[in-house]
Amino acid sequence: MLHRPLIDGMEFAQAGSKLSGEWPVADFERLTQALHSAAGCFRYELQGIPEVQGRPALRLRVTGMLHLTCQRCLEPIEQPLLADATLLLHAGEREIAALPVEPDGPDRIVAAMDMAVHDLIEEEVLLAIPYAPRHERCESRPCEEGASTRPKPFAGLRGLLDAKR
């Protein structure tokens, strides 16, 4: 069984601790649902930063290869992954809600004494997946034979609209 490290977020950040390793893609249950294939591993580096904008923070960097499905041709497509995020740590949701939103600023998360590194990695990779991945150039799937002779259910509406005018 794979060791799943837990960190005390505030302590890890304030001490400037570092943690790195590799994690099999197949171990990320929510992520594998969005992938064409769960082959390969992610390499991660997690570093505590004592102060970013007056707060302790975590810097998470994840690299690897995503095996996605092209949204044009539905064939596999490989997409290099480079997720690099700074996560400002806060004591609670109220503290985060009281601050103004900075669209280009670092993400804010609630620090805990038992933060799962696995979950931090999975969240950042999910956020890095393109909305509609596709090949730069690809052929769309050919239509089924006989598709052009299939009746079109709304074809008769054009005649009705023209007749009323």
pLDDT tens digits, residue range 104-122? 888 899 988 999 999 999 9
Query: Within 10 Å of residue 46's Cβ, how many Cβ atoms?
Result: 22
Q: How many domains are contained in the chain?
A: 1
In a domain, 150, yes or no: no
In a domain, 22, yes or no: yes
142, pLDDT greater than 70: no
In a domain, 160, yes or no: no
* 3 state SS of 84: strand
- Dump pLDDT digits (tens) for 25-59: 999 999 988 889 889 999 999 999 998 888 899 99
> Which of 58, 60, 59, 48 is closest to 18 using CA atoms?
48
Per-chain mean pLDDT for the chain? 86
144, pLDDT greater than 60: no
In a domain, 33, yes or no: yes
Give whole-number Cα distances, 49 to 60, 87, 105, 139, in Å. Answer: 11, 10, 16, 47
85, pLDDT greater than 90: yes
Task: Tokens 């004591």: give the residue.
Answer: 91
In a domain, 30, yes or no: yes
Q: Would you state the pLDDT for residue 95? A: 87
In a domain, 161, yes or no: no
This prediction has a pTM of 0.77
Give whole-number Cα distances, 101 to 81, 88, 98, in Å. Answer: 27, 13, 9
In a domain, 129, yes or no: yes
User: For residues 151 and 114, which has the higher predicted lDDT (pLDDT)?
Assistant: 114
How far apart are alpha carbons 12 and 16 in whole angstroms? 6
Q: Would you state the pLDDT for residue 51? A: 86
Q: Which domain holds residue 114?
A: 6-138
Mean pLDDT confidence for 15-31: 92
1, pLDDT greater than 50: no
How far apart are alpha carbons 26 and 40 in whole angstroms? 8
In a domain, 103, yes or no: yes
